[in-house]
Amino acid sequence: MELTRIRHALVTGGASGIGLGIVDAFAERGIAVTVADIIQERLDQQFVMRGENIMPIRLDTRDREGWIEAKRTAETRFGPVDVLVNNAGIGPDGCEISEMTPDSFDKTIAINLTAVFNGINAFVGEMKARGSGHIVNTASMNGIMLGLARYGAYAASKFGVVGLSEALREELEPHGVGVSVLCPGPVLSNMPETSRLLGNPAPEQRWPDGTVGMEPIVAGRIVLRSIELNLGHILTHPNYFPAIDHRNDVIRQAAEIEQAEWASLPGWQG
């Protein structure tokens, strides 16, 4: 989608971290932005002096009625939303799956995955009807690499966002609507603090020793360029591809063993 055609973007989780970087990247290009976030204090701190082209609104992305009101408010101010960025998220709670509480699991899935659907559901119908638009869903490198211990529900939610986005991209392509899934590597953010505020005490991010997080504005500019290129997958750190390749290798090795083992089973056809 040509950036010159974008008049209005809505970004959830936009008051800090990657979301704020995306907001700032849109603002650099003179694009009006509705910034949705659940933490009112952050909205007040970040956007009180940002000018008339940015409108902050409080939104709990789990709340489907809240989405309807947010859409109404945003489009009354700036017109139809051309780009929806479902970025709001919560981090892992650091528990093994056997120790995780049902509340923590449900909360992680609700905020990281179901809320993405809620945003899509609120906007996709009109984008299809107009024959234009773009949706960006934030997942994680943890959604495309081998699962890590103590990241179980988080990884499940992010794998879900990847699968949902890939299916949605195929469905919307004939209608002229683009879909990208953002799988960021290390980016400076307030994810641990946000997770704690929402009730999930988060462990430190497990990145290789010496890794320095990317500035959020750089990640934001990557997202805008990826929208322009209509990329299905946005990797802020392509140098992390070996982590993706490792997962593929593990699956491939299992398949090679199974090809030999299952061949001896009566009735099996590969």
Single out the catalytic residue among 154, 169, 191, 234.
Answer: 154
Q: Which residue has the tokens 């980016």?
A: 187
Are 11 and 23 in contact, with CB atoms under 8 Å apart?
Answer: yes
| Phi, psi of 181, rounded to the nearest 5 degrees | -110, 125
Is 151 marked active-site? Answer: no
The H-or-E segment that residue 183 falls in is strand 178-183
Contacts with 262 (C-beta within 8 Å, 6 or more apart), sequence order: 268, 270
Is residue 17 left, alpha or beta, with left meaning phi > 0 and alpha meaning psi from -120 to 50?
left
User: Cα separation of 183 and 145, whole Å?
Assistant: 10
**Active site positions, annotated:** 154
